[in-house]
Amino acid sequence: MHNKPRKYKHILMMPLLLTLAFNSPTPIAADIDIDQARLETGVVRIITIAKFSGGRFAGKVISISSGSGILLNTQGDIATNAHIAEIKEAIKDKKKEVQKFAKKFQRKYPGKFAPINFLHSLYVDLGKPSLIQYQSYILDGGLDKSHWRNTTLRWISHKKDLAILRAKDLDNTRVPMILTKTDQARLVKGTKVWSSGHPESPDTGKPNTKKVFDETGFFYSPAAINAQVQTYTLDTVRHDGVISRYNNKNRHRKGVRARLFNHTAVVNPDNSGGPLLDPCNRVIGINQSVFVPPFTQGTFWSIRGAELIKELKRLKIAYQYDASACNPIQ
């Protein structure tokens, strides 16, 4: 006679010092009466603003970008990608944009040095990391500035493409997500998984390319920042898939050295930093979104949860953890 599967309770059971572990021998049943809306309160929308903190262009906003993250605990700690917390690729893109414009201007207006001097100074300062400041915010229940929650960077590793932010004054109805084991015995090829996050253009197939700048054409004004944020959505999007490859070795990909899942659950721009979940709605990975060539379409990547858990333990950051097995519904 089989035991009746118990429902998966996505709640904080007791105060945490390091981890919260459910070690019940009773397997968890997948997808039973799950409250999807409540579950996904643990998925947050992050915006990061890069600006000059010094030099000739001090205070000027260079770029604004967005991504996803997962709430780890009731203290407001959030896991995301390093490339979401520090948008260094956006700075590189801006340098290329300035260089391209300068070459075009020189060809069209030879001998006009004032604009070229401006562009040269901008190009040089974009190459000085010490002059660039990154600030991340959580959009907590709305898009206007009253809903922006400031964060501090607790830890970051560009090598692993992981970061931990701490947000202040988040909505206390948000429920932290639960992490689980990512061993191969549980997550073999064909295991069902699903991704969640805040894509830039959910299911439209059209990336958001709207850009609005100040009078120079290279910096965001306050109005431009607000206009950009208003194009975002706070809705989360779910995509189902399966594990397509499991590898215990560190994989070197786009400068990242970490253990990854290859899977078929769609990860679009701004899904980065969001969770990859098992059928029992527990986090097994952190999504990593990049633009890929056509011959790899249909393949997506997530950083294994074990990489994150290792750092959380080392940093003594609280998180929820469930070691129970997950039994798919027959």
The pLDDT score that the predictor gives to residue 7 is 40
The pLDDT score that the predictor gives to residue 68 is 96
The pLDDT score that the predictor gives to residue 209 is 44
The pLDDT score that the predictor gives to residue 169 is 94
142 falls within a domain: yes
229 falls within a domain: yes
256 falls within a domain: yes
The domain of 252 spans 19-327
Q: In the chain, how many domains are there?
A: 1
76 falls within a domain: yes
174 falls within a domain: yes
pLDDT less than 50: residues of the chain: 1-26, 29, 32-33, 202-209, 291, 293-295, 330
The pLDDT score that the predictor gives to residue 26 is 46
In one-letter notation, the amino acid at residue 285 is G
The pLDDT score that the predictor gives to residue 12 is 36
Q: What is the dihedral of CA 317, 137, 85, 65, to 10 degrees?
A: 160
Closest Cα to residue 317, out of 112, 79, 120, 135? 79
255 falls within a domain: yes
The pLDDT score that the predictor gives to residue 254 is 57
125 SS3 class: helix
Residue 130 DSSP symbol: G
User: Two tokens at 89?
Assistant: 């690729």
What is the pLDDT of the chain when averaged over all its residues? 82
233 falls within a domain: yes
DSSP codes, 24-93? -SSPEETTSS--HHHHGGGEEEEEEEEEE-SSTTTT-EEEEEEEEEEE-STT-EEEE-HHHHS-HHHHHH
pTM: 0.84
12 falls within a domain: no
Cα angle, residue 47 at apex, residues 212 and 59 outer, rounded to 5°: 60
Closest Cα to residue 263, out of 180, 255, 271? 271
Q: What is the dihedral of CA 234, 157, 75, 229, to 10 degrees?
A: -20
Domain of 286, CATH number, reads: 2.40.10.120
Residues 6 or more apart in contact with residue 204 via CB below 8 angstroms: none
For residue 70, how many C-alpha atoms fall within 13 Å in the half-sphere facing its CB?
Answer: 29
Q: Give tens-digit pLDDT for 42-91.
A: 999 999 999 999 999 999 999 999 999 999 999 999 999 999 999 999 99
Q: Give tens-digit pLDDT for 245-289.
A: 876 665 555 566 778 888 989 888 778 999 999 999 999 999 987
Residues 6 or more apart in contact with residue 245 via CB below 8 angstroms: 189, 261, 262, 263
